Structure 1
Amino acid sequence: MSPVIAVGVDGTPESLAAARWAAAEAVRRGRGLRLVHAWLWQAVPLPMARDRDEEARRADALLHAAADEVAAHHPGLGIVTEVVQDAPVPALLREAQRAELLAVGTRGRGPLLGFLLGSYGQQVVGEAACPVVSVRAADGDRPEGGEERPDGGAGEVVVGQYGYPEDSHDVLGFAFEAAAVRGAAVRAVRAWDLPSIYAYSPGTMWISEQDGGLVQYEQAALRRALEPWRAKYPEVPVVEHVELGSAGQVLLSAAEGSASLLVVGRRTRKGPLGSRIGSAAHAVLHHARCPVAVVPES
């Protein structure tokens, strides 16, 4: 099966924005586009009874309307549509197993809504086998999915780097590839915080400052993580960004303005209320102005 960019469509402005973004991304990557609408028939008692055939026709119509819209802007793009007889979450998780990338719609600067409601959005982001990109309605309304700066260039791809090089291998690889197909720069962000020892021993801070401070160690860690990707993508400009603060806030600040894409890694934890994707991913999904890609660790 050829690689595809998949997107969930339900007829809302948010899902149509995701479809427009996904179409532009498919063109950039030379991939096909797969539009999916999840529809599960459930009989209801009178007087709310619905006609099954009519509901099926509506599902098919909204899916093809989305396909027609993106085809008008990308006439050479290969588009496949399918109405899937299932609930949205399991349908999208199955799509993620065979797609290179999955796009979903986000409403405004709040929780994931639109095609997926409430905790469903987090469940898909937290369990999908492939990277998931959350797209706001405003992003899809701009040309090419909201990727350009006012001067016509491509906005930076901002990516969060953390831990050792192997910890952020997948997220950096995704960010560099995204930047390469856009002709954009990568802004690699490493947020750091003071070890707890400094809270109890102010004198230790003075000693470390005499040796150049802690920032140099964070900068060196970021450079080591970037080395293989700089070698693989020599044409991609790289900006190194090391800042003291919480990862979520530092990433949001770095992406504010002209970023075309914000990329974060996913270290999923299971909890009593479902999958937890981590505080940094949670923060940027809720508050970033640009599309956000959440990349699972391999």
Structure 2
Amino acid sequence: MPRTVTVGLDGSPESRAAAEWAAREARLRALPVRLVNVWEPAPDPMAQAPLLGAETHQHWSERIPREAAEGVRLRHPGVDVTTEQLTGRPAEELLKAADDAELLVLGTRGLSGAGGFMVGSVGLAVAAHAGRPVVFVRAGEQAADEHLPDPTGVPSAAAPFRPVVLGLDTSRPDDALIGFAFEAALLRATALRVVHSWNEPPYIAYGLPPDLKMTARLAAEDAAAMTAALRTWREKYPAVEIVEDSLSGKPANHLVDASREASLVVVGRRIRKAALGAHIGPVTHAVLHHATAPVAVVPHP
């Protein structure tokens, strides 16, 4: 089966924004779009209710991908769009769909007045267990949001893309994560901004006078580690401009700040086989909830 850009579609505004993003991404990657809707049958007592019959519920569920596909084809001519109706638990079926995809795209809700976004339980479960990259797109995401302002200062889809941002752990750099970010930047003909955070000396927490020499040494060591981690990637992707940001403080805060000027934020999710099961990690969790750009979660060993 050929790889696709697969979208989990439920008819919500955020899932429609995800479908639009997926169509733009599919054009960049020269891949088809697959719109997937999961129908979860109601329990028997509810299915027998006059206003919530199983057949009526399924009928409306089947309309969601069909009508979305018509709109995507109209707005993105040349992009191959297919639909699929699945039955079962949404998280389980989306994980199966992700196995056959180049990447899976899901929508997230905005948190009114909170400056962040809401990733639901299904999205978090998929992000924690998927074997393929999962991209989360906020409700209301527009093509122009991913681009720099035009000469008049207005964001425009005709202008160049904003940079791609990569959150990098220099102590354990992973090829799958770094490679995904470089490919995303190359496809967009834009820069890759690599962000890594290092911890300030412990005396800072106790209000002691800073040791400027120690701080400078730590900063220099971290910057050197980042340059070393990216050296082979510079040679592999000479067309991609790399901006290295070695910053002190909490990594999630820096990535959220960087997302305001990004077309895409790329973070990792370590594949763990532990007794407590899979999870996405605190940094990725914070970025998913608060980044203002689409976020790609890339699983890696």
Q: TM-score range by the shorter chain?
A: 0.7 to 0.9
2:35 is the counterpart of 1:35: yes
Q: Cα offset for 1:20?
A: 0.5
| Counterpart selection for 1:53 from 52, 55, 59 | 55
Structure-2 residue corresponding to 1:219: 223
Structure-2 residue corresponding to 1:115: none
CA RMSD, Structure 1 to Structure 2 (Å): 2.5
The amino acid of 2:45's aligned partner reads: V
2:16 is the counterpart of 1:12: no
Deviations 1:256-297 (A, max 9, x none): 2x2100111112557898642111101110011110011110
2:286 is the counterpart of 1:283: yes
1-structure distance, mates of 2:21, 2:193: 21
| Counterpart selection for 1:208 from 204, 210, 214 | 214
2-structure distance, mates of 1:292, 1:73: 23
1-structure distance, mates of 2:163, 2:185: 7
Flag the 1:197–1:63 CA change in 2: closer, same or farther, 3 A: same
1-structure distance, mates of 2:5, 2:173: 25
Structure-2 residue corresponding to 1:263: 266
Q: Cα offset for 1:204?
A: 10
Structure-2 residue corresponding to 1:229: 233
Flag the 1:14–1:271 CA change in 2: closer, same or farther, 3 A: farther
Q: Cα offset for 1:55?
A: 2.3
SS of 2:140's partner is: helix
2:189 is the counterpart of 1:186: no
The amino acid of 2:169's aligned partner reads: Y
| Counterpart selection for 1:297 from 289, 293, 300 | 300
Structure-2 residue corresponding to 1:76: 78
Q: Cα offset for 1:208?
A: 3.2
Q: Is the 8 A contact 1:198 1:205 kept in 2?
A: no
User: Which deviates more, 221-230 or 187-196?
Assistant: 187-196
Work out the number of aligned pairs and report it: 286
1-structure distance, mates of 2:17, 2:213: 53
Flag the 1:207–1:242 CA change in 2: closer, same or farther, 3 A: closer
Q: Cα offset for 1:171?
A: 1.6
The amino acid of 2:147's aligned partner reads: E
Q: Cα offset for 1:110?
A: 2.8
Q: Cα offset for 1:44?
A: 2.7
Structure-1 residue corresponding to 2:45: 44
Q: Cα offset for 1:52?
A: 2.8
User: Which deviates more, 51-60 or 287-296?
Assistant: 51-60
The amino acid of 1:218's aligned partner reads: D
TM-score (norm 1): 0.88
TM alignment of 1:51-200, pairs within 5 A: 51-108=53-110, 109-112=116-119, 118-139=120-141, 142-143=142-143, 146-151=145-150, 152-164=159-171, 167-194=173-200, 196=202
Structure-1 residue corresponding to 2:113: none
